[in-house]
Homo-oligomer: A and B are copies of this chain.
Amino acid sequence: MTMKEICQQAHDARIRVGMLTTGVKNDVLCRAAECILEDSDAILAANGLDVANGIDKAMPQGLIDRLRLTEVRLEQMADGLRQVASLDDPVGEILSMKKRPNGLYIGKKRVPIGVVGMIYEARPNVTSDAFGLCFKSGNCAILKGGSDAIHSNIAIVRAMQRALTEYQIPDGALSLIENTDRSATEEFMKMNDYVDLLIPRGGAGLIRNVVQNATIPVIQTGTGNCHVYVDESADFEMAIDIIHNAKTQRIGVCNACESIVVHRAIADEFLPKLYRRLSDSQVELRGDAAAVRALGGEGTPLVKAATPEDWGTEYLDYILSVKVVGSIDEAIEHINRYNTAHSEAIVTENYANAQRFLEEIDAACVYVNASTRFSDGNEFGLGAEIGISTQKLHARGPMGLEALTSTKYIIYGNGQIRP
């Protein structure tokens, strides 16, 4: 099929898929989980091909790890689909209904978005996750995974499509774009006549390309240059625990802490204590002049002078930039200037400063006395997550099933005309 045919098929299927009952959707999801396990030999063989190609191409070990499937990972993917089946169906909820003076009843109802496109990299588990969330929320999914995972994705999609066929769901409910050329991605992004939403998941380059070139409305997910601000009144032990957790609990994720901001009044006492804890994990600290001084000067192991680029860098590594500020105002200004509007935290015992930080920091998730690592659909109680939005339109922060819905106005009249 051509790109246009794939997208049109999904567009044509959207009404029927959007009207499926919760029971049927759940049955299909559970059956899709079974189909993945039934096909595990074929999926693992296809994945073996992708992994071998990756090794031939000298793909970094971390990416190979994300690409590689095992029996256990297939079980997790199937569990993921069953878990989505267990979530409440967001479709059909009446969010409000009011009677107008002219007697019209005007209601706002939650409906599927229609056709959702996903562009992502070489993580085959996203293929089943994305389908599960899109299907449960009544949407048709068009998936464009990374070329390095193409054999795995074809095998996984084929398995899940068998479940759809058994339940006579239209083919347009799930499509995989098998053409891995860059030109196919470019063409896909411009299918705004058929696709209602495009979600890119992956590195900054992928997301920038989509934002620059898509004509389909996009939800940007992504990069997190997250800060922890240690206020004058902070409990040191709490601050150290939070920074250690936010930096080292998992290193390559968007909600990891990349920069700390410390009040000048406590810098000399706090930073050496933090250093002792972080140096156990070999975290390099790149500080401004005051921070480097407090950390024992430039000769100290794991201590370096920060360059201006450091303030805006998402390291995804055992590195932390350290800025010393004279006031909470300066801290807020610094964070609002350099952050990526993802997740920001203050550690403080001061009520007014806690409230000011919550109010004035411009980010999807703003924390008082907790680790930025909690920015996650499961941790927020959404049950699942299709990504973390760092833009302000439609959805902000962790996105669950509701983020994959729109609304429509339904109006009950008895002959009203406009005067």
A residues with CB within 8 A of B:
14-15, 18-19, 98, 100, 104, 106, 113-114, 192, 196-197, 211-212, 215, 217-219, 235, 238, 241-242, 244-246, 249, 336, 354, 358-360, 362-371, 373-375, 379-381, 391-394, 396-398, 406-418
* Minimum CB distance partner of A250 in chain B: B418
* Minimum CB distance partner of A332 in chain B: B15
Cβ-neighbour of A217 out of B98, B212, B217, B371 (below 8 A): B217
Cβ-neighbour of A407 out of B197, B211, B396 (below 8 A): B396
Cβ-neighbour of A409 out of B238, B364, B371 (below 8 A): B364
Report yes or no: A100 in contact with B373, Cβ–Cβ below 8 A: no
Cβ-neighbour of A212 out of B18, B215, B245, B369 (below 8 A): B215
Q: A365-B411, A369-B413 are in contact. Are A379 and B100 (CB under 8 A)?
A: yes
Q: A408-B366, A411-B367, A416-B370 are in contact. Are A393 and B113 (CB under 8 A)?
A: yes
CB distance from A330 to the nearest CB of B (A): 14
CB distance from A70 to the nearest CB of B (A): 24
Contact residues in B for A398 (Cβ distance below 8 Å): 409
Report yes or no: B196 in contact with A392, Cβ–Cβ below 8 A: yes
Report yes or no: B418 in contact with A379, Cβ–Cβ below 8 A: yes
CB distance from A249 to the nearest CB of B (A): 6
Report yes or no: B392 in contact with A393, Cβ–Cβ below 8 A: no
Cβ-neighbour of A100 out of B106, B114, B381, B406 (below 8 A): B381
Report yes or no: A367 in contact with B413, Cβ–Cβ below 8 A: yes
Report yes or no: B416 in contact with A406, Cβ–Cβ below 8 A: no
Complex Cα distance A359/B371, Å?
Answer: 43
CB distance from A331 to the nearest CB of B (A): 13
Contact residues in B for A14 (Cβ distance below 8 Å): 362
* Minimum CB distance partner of A18 in chain B: B362
Most buried by B among A192, A393, A394: A393
